[in-house]
A = this chain, B = another copy of it.
């Protein structure tokens, strides 16, 4: 606030220009026409005094501060970064700025942080993959206008912008099955993660469509370390006949790749590995990682689009789900022993 104009107000300008504060305001906002002479004087005074209007005072009058909040569990996750970037750029185009709040994965604080952040802004973008649904529903009511990102929330008048993880996993399984894989393992994400639940539904649906395919579950996580940690279990599964791995996300896949190499398991020669999210680094991995691409920036932009509608008093926009696109790269290929087991 105030910046270097600390202390100099619209009245100072008015006095200096010999007009009323109202006129200065008019010159500033150009709503009504004002005497060119006054305009000149005011502009000159503004320049001389180095005046900058207080945005806070304006906000108070207008009842909005052209700022939206975004709450994320972890700012270091490439997925959220991309969304934040898209949101930030889209909002900026409309003169809005984004306030970020990192909950540091502390689910218990999420609600309070979201409410606090929301209070400072006109609207809220909520990324809360771990928040229990009941809590989320309550939170959504208290923070409207709000848009939920990346998790489904049926039967509620809240716009959701997300990814069709179910379909994504199905498509990914199709890809692997198409390559000839019959035994696959899914390295799951955090147990409480809503998007992990979606992926698991995708696994189920895929199984239903491919009776001859078997998909094992291996408990994983969401970070590269988790990928490394799960490598032994993956190798074991491989020995037991699994020929392809689907990781919860790319971070896990990349960690897994690194460890598999050290364990002497060749990817994709012995084992295919696929990730999810298509983070920027995926295409630079060794081998370049096959992944399901999600339009991170576009999600952010769409979130803004919806928020803008809500802020403008429009009707609750419909939910939108992006269908992930398969990025076939080097890490997936046909299984070594053609035809494998099944």
Contacts and interface: CB of A to CB of B under 8 A. Distances in A.
Interface of A: 1-4, 52, 54-57, 59-60, 63-65, 67, 69, 75-76, 78, 81-82, 84-85, 88-89, 92, 97-102, 104, 115, 117-122, 141-144, 224, 228, 254-255, 257-258, 261, 280-281, 283-286, 288
A78 to B, nearest CB: 8
A interface, over-half SS: helix
Give this chain's copy count.
2
A4 B99 contact: no
Contacts of A143: 3-4
Nearest 8 pairs of A and B residues by beta carbon = A286-B286, A258-B284, A75-B85, A56-B59, A281-B281, A254-B284, A88-B102, A99-B99
A173 B333 CA distance: 40
Contacts of A288: 258
Contacts of A76: 78, 81-82, 85, 280
Nearest to A59: B56
Contacts of A286: 257-258, 261, 285-286
A1 B121 contact: yes
A105 to B, nearest CB: 12
Contact of A100 (B78, B88, B118): B88
A73 to B, nearest CB: 12
21 contacts: A3-B142, A3-B143, A3-B144, A4-B142, A55-B120, A56-B60, A60-B60, A75-B85, A76-B78, A76-B82, A81-B81, A88-B101, A88-B102, A97-B101, A97-B120, A98-B100, A224-B280, A254-B284, A258-B286, A261-B286, A285-B285
A89 B106 CA distance: 12
Contacts of A88: 75, 100-102
A187 B99 CA distance: 36
Given A258-B286, A261-B286, A284-B254, A84 B75 contact: yes
